[in-house]
Amino acid sequence: MNLELKNLHVAYGNVEALHGINLHINMGEIVTILGANGAGKTTTLMSISGLVKPNKGEILFDNQALHSLPSHEIVKRGITQSPEGRRVFGTMSVIENLNLGAFTSQNIKKNTQTLEWIFRLFPRLMERKHQLAGTLSGGEQQMLAIGRALMGNPKILLLDEPSLGLAPILVRSIFSTIKAINDAGVTVILVEQNAKAALKLADRGYVMEVGKIVMEDKASNLLKNPDIQKAYLGGTIK
């Protein structure tokens, strides 16, 4: 079972954002997508989750086409997304936000087990479960956004900029939790401006520039690549 994007083209009106990208994700991996703002990283994730539709090309999961399905059907097949900017529902409580993540599941026992697992991953959410999401700190809202995505019991979790705007100590905590989620059997596709942290966590990485994949390699190799160091890692890594 794997996820494949084949010759994927996506346009917003007359402007093409993805120019025929190809990538594959093997089950059990953490794969990071690197690139500057506007490179097409978020569009790639939104294409996988069905929020934008390709003009051309295919998205295949376990050899079944996803690109023609509505987004809620893609969630049912085991792919969920934690969006950039968190996008929690501020006037709803933490527990209400989490329950929304299970909207495609009728299995109450499984939902309860998943919720208990999320509270083990993020004890802060358990402490704040009746608090309005809009009153949480940025780090807590990020935990909530990831937890809400996990309530769909995904096989693949799409994470878009999970460390954005967070203090370094919270960044370390979030990345440690992503590793724990992966260790529990969830495949992770990670879009992240903190390239160094992402590459240290990931198995493989793709580099995007203006809607194209320009490099693919093991994350450890990308971390040592002088071009990647110069472009994304602030110079040589000692």
pLDDT, mean of each 10-residue run, the chain (238 residues): 94 93 96 92 94 94 91 91 78 89 78 89 91 87 92 93 85 91 96 91 95 95 90 57
Strand positions, DSSP E, the chain: 2-12, 15-26, 30-34, 56-61, 64-65, 79-82, 156-160, 187-191, 204-209, 212-218
Looking at residue 235, its pLDDT comes to 45
Distance of CA 33 to the CA centre of its chain: 10
- Which pLDDT score, from 0 to 100, does residue 238 have? 37
What pLDDT is attached to residue 101? 80
What domains are defined for the chain? 2-78+154-232 (3.40.50.300), 89-152 (no CATH)
* Nearest alpha carbon to residue 85 among 144, 18, 142: 142
What was the pLDDT predicted at 163?
Answer: 87
pTM for the model:
0.91
Residue 162 CB contacts under 8 Å (≥ 6 apart), including other chains: 82, 142, 145, 146, 174, 175, 178, 190, 192
Q: Which residue has the tokens 């792919």?
A: 79
